[in-house]
Chain A
Amino acid sequence: MKRGLAVWSVVGVVCLILSAGFSAWAAGEPIKIGVVGPMQFTQGEGHWNGATLAAEEINAKGGVLVGGVKHPIELVKVDSNEFLSIPDATNAMELAISRHKVDYLVGGFRTEAVLVMQDIAMDNQKIFIGCGAAHPKLCGRVKEDYDRYKYWFRVTPINSRFLVKVDFILLGMVAKIMATQLNIPKIKVAIVAEKAVWCDPIVGIAQKNLPKMGMEIVGVWRPSPVATDVTAELSAIQSSGAHIIFTSFSSSVGVTFAKQWGELKVPAAAVGINVEAQKDGFWAATGGKGNYTLTINTYARVKITDATIAFYDKYKKKFKEAPNYTAGTYEAVHVLAEAMQKANSLAPDKLVPVIEKMKRVGTAGLLAFDETHDVIWGPGYVTALGTQWQNGEIKCVWPLNWQSITYEGAVPYIIPPWVVAHYKK
């Protein structure tokens, strides 16, 4: 009896020791995710911040559960410097994969660089989730050569084809509001698009569709993306009698344009794409003159899904500014974590089919991928937003009763008061 007790107690103690050692041993190897972006600029900061937020949330729960072991996520900052040097970007990518031994990659911004970085990732069969470049070619490659490019997915922004769609929906909305409120029989539109390849199709489509939408085009201006002075263009636009300025800006010209437009009180509403106007810093940069600028956006403090407002507030509290679309790395990291848990594996080949079928309640909408691994656009999925600067705050003005969708928190569009004053005469 005594001997039996002794044996069992020894067994019991050994088991206790083993289990303690097991859980220590079971804190698995960290999963390294490389966050690639121009870290000196806001886009890269957005990449890093979004990923950090996601990694913290996952690591607070102990990590990603794969094979009975919880692996914490370790983020590796990869400064691609893509704005200034493409070779730098590719070298950074190479460094991340061969030296830092990252297992997965998220981020990327400048299409010219991402095209090459994508190739490097595919050469090494690493999953690369794009969070910044909207060019359709990136996902087009998935279709052309599935076996090679299947490790690529895009989470944000929406494909430029859909960007154009939303762009025109916003234009139509403003045109309608102006026509009814100001009694204008035929709306005149001035198209101002920076000279960049991504704008060419928008200009082309606009020239074809606007007459069909009942509007008249009074001119097309293509300033340089880094133009420091557009007063000449604004003068010409004013002489042309335009009611709406249809903008397509992704670079600093967006700030310059809005500032000078507001300063000169040009009697036309600014609608379209203005990436700088998506950022909190826009208000200070334009000295408040960018008020009433309407632009496509990805995040705003409205209830797109149950996850949106919580994410928005958490991001703003931690990083002291509102999230921009490059913070979609938050989604990308969560997608990876979810896929790993579902597939119960870390192997890219096993994760790809899981991600393809994933439907995740994301922060920008219901996140799902189409057959080219591109984020799906549409009512019920990710629709993007139309946001307008209203007296120092970014307000969501679309979707508002669009295809029976309204995100809670959206408000109606406001026509700039000097435009109203000009036409009410």
Chain B
Amino acid sequence: MGLIGYYFRRGWKLFRGEVLVLPSRVAVLVFALAVLLLPLFNQDPYLLRILIFTSIFAILAASWDLLSGFTGQMNFGHALFFGVAAYCTAILNIRLDFPPWFSIPLGAFGAVLAGLIIGIPCLRLRGTYLALTTLAFPIILMGVVFAIPDLTGGELGISGVDRLSGSRLNDYYISAVLMLGLGFIMWKITDSKTGIILHAIREDEVAVRASGVNTTLYKLFAFCLSGFFAGIAGGLYAHIMRTAGPSTLEVALSFQIVIWAVFGGIVSIYGPIAGVFILFPLLEFLRILPKIRMLVFAFIVLITLLYMPEGLIPWIRDKIEKECPRCKVRNVATRKTCRICTADLD
């Protein structure tokens, strides 16, 4: 009994010291709670459907950020991972009757394989060359998809994929929990030693190489990891939509991912997630103005970038938090002295 109490007190102290102390972390906590507790207030199937898609695309955008934001490998063909995984999952489900919790991870591994295949030629490329080459891959794959319609269903895609779970509510919880879980894992990765190396590769690859780190391995690792998470999103999509078609490989989707991520704020996993959670429901909400929907959307993105070129979340974060000049730890903006080293914050 006493032991449980001890752990509880420790947990509470940790919670107070780590989470409650910064408004951004509190915001994340509130967000997670809101996502998980929403069905207690409103179970409208349309709303749940929108949020399921938002969660799936949030995983996708975060995985893009892992690759392009952190490692600096601008990937303009992220739809490739998404599409490959969706198709693999659909084929495994239809041809081999694999259930969703089997076909989705296997589909994600298909995406990882794709990541390897495109990662290797991209090793020698930099910057814009890399971006434009990655753009080409989903297009080439689309040509292949149309060329072998017997396997891929051509422009109709593969339909008749099993449902993810018995009910809309279960679907919602599966995608929401996965989104929170995978997002947390991705964030932890970027916060770890591997994450630091990836960040360093982005800033100055030559220096990292000079430090004795095998950057080729890390770059490939980034491709594969990003591909895996994007693949999970693709597999989920296939089971929710119950179809996997060439629309999963479109250039427009790759561009959308980049828009979401940059709008939310790159080089931070929570930025793209927030970006998707703002922009995707916004686009749905704009259905009330059917003709000028996309126009308004594009304008909002354009204007936001003008004032917050680093992304929305970093801008908000800079307003509510300040960095201590001495120990570099973040503090609430209203504080006068740092909470750790008591240096002046002004």
Among listed A86-94, A391-399, A402-410, interface-contacting one: A86-94
| Residues of chain B within 8 A of A76, CB atoms compared | none
> A40-68: contact bitstring with B at CB < 8 Å (1 yes, 0 no)?
10000000000000000000000000000
| Residues of chain B within 8 A of A85, CB atoms compared | 247
Whether, in the assembled complex, A306 has its beta carbon less than 8 Å from a beta carbon of chain B, the answer is no
Residue pair A91, B49 in contact (C-beta under 8 Å): yes
Residue pair B46, A196 in contact (C-beta under 8 Å): no
Beyond A99-B46, A195-B146, A197-B156, list 5 extra A-B contacts (CB 8 Å): A79-B287, A86-B247, A112-B156, A137-B156, A196-B154
Assuming A85-B247, A195-B146, is B46 touching A116 (CB within 8 A)?
no
| Residues of chain B within 8 A of A40, CB atoms compared | 291
Whether, in the assembled complex, A370 has its beta carbon less than 8 Å from a beta carbon of chain B, the answer is no
In the assembled complex, the Cα of A209 lies from the Cα of B146 at a distance in Å of: 25
Residue pair B156, A94 in contact (C-beta under 8 Å): no
Residue pair A111, B44 in contact (C-beta under 8 Å): no
In the assembled complex, the Cα of A200 lies from the Cα of B45 at a distance in Å of: 38
Whether, in the assembled complex, B242 has its beta carbon less than 8 Å from a beta carbon of chain A, the answer is yes
Residue pair A86, B153 in contact (C-beta under 8 Å): no
Assuming A91-B50, A197-B154, is B247 touching A112 (CB within 8 A)?
yes
In the assembled complex, the Cα of A115 lies from the Cα of B161 at a distance in Å of: 12
Q: Which of B49, B157, B159, B247 has the most CB of A within 10 A?
A: B247
Assuming A85-B247, A116-B242, is B155 touching A197 (CB within 8 A)?
yes
Whether, in the assembled complex, A98 has its beta carbon less than 8 Å from a beta carbon of chain B, the answer is yes
Chain B interface, >50% SS class: helix
Residue pair A112, B245 in contact (C-beta under 8 Å): yes
Whether, in the assembled complex, A119 has its beta carbon less than 8 Å from a beta carbon of chain B, the answer is yes
Within 124-166 of B, Cβ neighbours of A (below 8 Å) are at 146, 149, 153-157, 159
- Give the B interface residue count (CB, 8 A): 25
Whether, in the assembled complex, A334 has its beta carbon less than 8 Å from a beta carbon of chain B, the answer is no
In the assembled complex, the Cα of A94 lies from the Cα of B44 at a distance in Å of: 11
Whether, in the assembled complex, B53 has its beta carbon less than 8 Å from a beta carbon of chain A, the answer is yes
Whether, in the assembled complex, A13 has its beta carbon less than 8 Å from a beta carbon of chain B, the answer is no
**A: contact size bracket:** 20 to 34
Whether, in the assembled complex, B17 has its beta carbon less than 8 Å from a beta carbon of chain A, the answer is no
Which residue of chain A is the closest to B159 with respect to CB atoms? A115
B141 to chain A, nearest CB (A): 15
B149 to chain A, nearest CB (A): 5
- 9 CB-based A-B contacts, threshold 8 Å: A40-B291, A77-B290, A86-B241, A86-B245, A99-B46, A112-B156, A112-B157, A135-B156, A196-B155
Whether, in the assembled complex, A39 has its beta carbon less than 8 Å from a beta carbon of chain B, the answer is yes
Residue pair A95, B156 in contact (C-beta under 8 Å): no
Interface residue from B159, B247, B252, B287 paired with A95 (Cβ < 8 Å)? B287
In the assembled complex, the Cα of A57 lies from the Cα of B329 at a distance in Å of: 72
Residue pair A116, B153 in contact (C-beta under 8 Å): no
Within 11-59 of B, Cβ neighbours of A (below 8 Å) are at 44-46, 49-50, 53
Assuming A112-B156, A116-B159, A200-B154, is B243 touching A86 (CB within 8 A)?
yes
Which residue of chain A is the closest to B50 with respect to CB atoms? A91
Which residue of chain A is the closest to B152 with respect to CB atoms? A197
Residue pair B49, A116 in contact (C-beta under 8 Å): no
Residue pair A39, B290 in contact (C-beta under 8 Å): yes
In the assembled complex, the Cα of A116 lies from the Cα of B160 at a distance in Å of: 9
Which residue of chain A is the closest to B290 with respect to CB atoms? A79
In the assembled complex, the Cα of A197 lies from the Cα of B158 at a distance in Å of: 12
Residue pair A115, B287 in contact (C-beta under 8 Å): no
> B230-273: contact bitstring with A at CB < 8 Å (1 yes, 0 no)?
00000000000111011100001000000000000000000000
| Residues of chain A within 8 A of B44, CB atoms compared | 98
| Residues of chain B within 8 A of A200, CB atoms compared | 149, 154
Whether, in the assembled complex, B284 has its beta carbon less than 8 Å from a beta carbon of chain A, the answer is yes
